[in-house]
Amino acid sequence: MPSYNNKTIVLHELRGLLVDVVRSNDQSQIGIHGTVIDETKNTLLVDTPSGVKRVAKDISVFRFHYGTRSFVVDGKEINFRSYERIEKSMKFYKKRKL
Q: What is the pLDDT of residues 46-72, one digit of tens each?
A: 999 999 999 999 999 999 999 899 999
The pTM of the full predicted model, rounded to 2 decimals, is 0.89
Query: What span, in angstroms and rounded, lies between the C-alpha atoms of 61 and 51?
Result: 21
- If we measure between CA atoms, which residue out of 76, 68, 70, 72 comes closest to residue 92? 76
Q: Is the pLDDT of residue 91 over 90?
A: no
Q: Decide yes or no: CATH 3.30.70.3170 for domain 8-95.
A: no
pLDDT of residue 2: 65
Provide the residue ranges of all domains of the chain, joining segments of one domain with +.
Answer: 8-95
